[in-house]
Amino acid sequence: MLDGKNILLGITGGIAAYKSIFLTRELAKLGADVKVIITPDAEQFVTPVTLATLSGNPVLSSFVPEGAGGLWNNHVELGKWADLMVIAPLTANTLSKLASGQSNNLLVATYLSATCPVMVAPAMDLDMYAHPTTHENLDKLRHHGVEVLEAAEGSLASGLSGKGRMQEPEEIIEAIRHHLAPTEQLKDKRVLITAGPTHEPLDPVRFIGNRSSGKMGFAIAKQALRLGAEVTLVAGPVNAELDHPRLNRMDVKTAEEMMAAVAHCYGEQDILVFAAAVADYRPKDVSNQKIKKTPGDAPVIELVQNPDILKFVGQHKKPDQFLVGFALETDQEVQNARKKLDNKNLDMIVLNSLNDAGAGFEFDTNKVTFITSKDVVEIPLKSKDEVAVDIFRQILKLHAES
């Protein structure tokens, strides 16, 4: 399954390091070429001999290994060689070094110079994991595009019980496989996505709009393409780029244009995800000329309602179509999102809360809750790319259950 993939496995000094012996063995068994880097502290928990035997490669632990005649381990080359760097377990100490850009051992220097994707599996004791500093550091990594495999709950080395255990090797391997060899679970499926804001013109130079960057919608489109789907992306005015042979991109400016683009193709779609921040209202009159200021007078702009595109599609939805909406709420969030789920006849709604730090329009991260008629699933803060992965995981799971 991992034939020909180069995996750089970083092991840091925590008791969970013993599980990384199994991880090394399984990765090698699955055909990956595994190179292990350990921190000096990790050597107290696992021996280089074991890891070298199982990986079939020398274990790397210092910049200039003893007896190597001055030859040094090139951390830049290691990061270029790898298809994926996985740090498991990640201790609080190494986490803080990664978050603050330190480079005083081979592992953290390799992380800092790595150009490959990085995945980390933190493991630490209950209160260390719960500490706000740990959360801030993990959020920082997420913000930098690192995939964080949240610690699991269970009994801990201290005798306490709670969140802090490293994910089991099987879970980590599943995440690695998903990352490196995404299955084409959406092959032959058509997916429609709306993204970005709409701009509602007042005159030739002014408009009413919002701060949506389109990042979430584009991340969803990218993930649908990775999963093999034919994707139609109806995008409001955004700066985002996306190019793919299976992508049909339709650029629009206003809600009415977005409505027309969606109306044209929604019938032939299997999955529809409405991530656009559509303006609910537009100016009633649009001036052909730039509106001049009149001294001593402030104009009153009369607004009219825009079509609710998602509601329209919900009303005309076929039984085998899967419809997902987004909701941005500031109060009574779950309750309000549930109302939208019902009113718009959706299969799932993705709730964004403006109350969550790091979530929302201009961030690269998002914190969402998936709501269906049966379930409320809260997802921790993640990069928008990771949220997109979760959205399709959820859709595929619900599809399989229905």
For the annotated catalytic residues, the residue numbers are: 210
SS (H, E, C) the chain: CCCCCEEEEEECCCHHHHHHHHHHHHHHHCCCEEEEEECHHHHHCCCHHHHHHHHCCCCECCCCCCCCCCCCCCHHHHHHHCCEEEEEEECHHHHHHHHHCCCCCHHHHHHHHCCCCEEEEECCCHHHHHCHHHHHHHHHHHHCCCEECCCEEEECCCCCEEEEECCCHHHHHHHHHHHHCCCCCCCCCEEEEEECECCEECCCCCEECCCCCCHHHHHHHHHHHHCCCEEEEEECCCCCCCCCCCEEEEECCCHHHHHHHHHHHHHHCCEEEECCECCCEEECCCCCCCCCCCCCCCCCCCEEECCCHHHHHHHCCCCCCEEEEEEEECCCHHHHHHHHHHHCCCCEEEEEECCCCCCCCCCCEECEEEECCCCEEECCCEEHHHHHHHHHHHHHHHHHHC
Among 340, 367, 382, 384, binds ligand CTP (CB under 6 A): 340
Residue 164 found at the interface with ligand CTP (CB under 6 A):
no
Q: Please, which residue, 43 or 308, has the CB nearer to ligand CTP? A: 308
| Cβ 335 to ligand CTP shortest distance, Å | 12
| Cβ 236 to ligand CTP shortest distance, Å | 10
Residue 308 found at the interface with ligand CTP (CB under 6 A):
yes
| Cβ 344 to ligand CTP shortest distance, Å | 7
Among 276, 323, 351, 391, binds ligand CTP (CB under 6 A): 276
Residue 322 found at the interface with ligand CTP (CB under 6 A):
no
Residue 266 found at the interface with ligand CTP (CB under 6 A):
no
Cα 338 from Cα 114, distance rounded (Å): 43
| Cβ 267 to ligand CTP shortest distance, Å | 16
Among 326, 363, 370, 392, binds ligand CTP (CB under 6 A): 326
Q: Are 45 and 120 in contact (CB under 8 A)?
A: no
| Cβ 255 to ligand CTP shortest distance, Å | 5
Specify which residues 154 forms β-bridges with. 162
Contact range with ligand CTP by CB under 6 A, out of 142-150, 233-241, 319-327, 355-363: 319-327
Residue 317 found at the interface with ligand CTP (CB under 6 A):
no
Q: Please, which residue, 157 or 304, has the CB nearer to ligand CTP? A: 304
The closest of 97, 126, 68 to 10, measured between CA atoms, is 97
Tell me the site size for ligand CTP, rule CB under 6 A: 15
Among 17, 148, 149, 278, binds ligand CTP (CB under 6 A): 278
Half-sphere exposure of 191 (CA within 13 A, CB side): 31
CA angle 315, 370, 344 (to 5 degrees): 15
Q: Please, which residue, 291 or 354, has the CB nearer to ligand CTP? A: 354
Residue 325 found at the interface with ligand CTP (CB under 6 A):
yes
Q: Please, which residue, 165 or 340, has the CB nearer to ligand CTP? A: 340
Near ligand CTP in 189-218, by CB under 6 A: 194
Residue 306 found at the interface with ligand CTP (CB under 6 A):
yes
The closest of 106, 114, 13 to 61, measured between CA atoms, is 106
Cα 267 from Cα 49, distance rounded (Å): 60
Q: Please, which residue, 120 or 327, has the CB nearer to ligand CTP? A: 327
Residue type at position 348? M
Among 202, 216, 310, 368, binds ligand CTP (CB under 6 A): 310
Q: Please, which residue, 119 or 379, has the CB nearer to ligand CTP? A: 379
Q: Please, which residue, 129 or 218, has the CB nearer to ligand CTP? A: 218
Contact range with ligand CTP by CB under 6 A, out of 42-50, 102-110, 207-215, 273-281: 273-281
Contact range with ligand CTP by CB under 6 A, out of 28-36, 57-65, 180-188, 272-280: 272-280
| Cβ 241 to ligand CTP shortest distance, Å | 21
Contact range with ligand CTP by CB under 6 A, out of 101-109, 171-179, 304-312, 376-384: 304-312
Site residues, ligand CTP (CB under 6 A):
194, 255, 274, 276, 278, 280, 306, 308-310, 325-328, 340
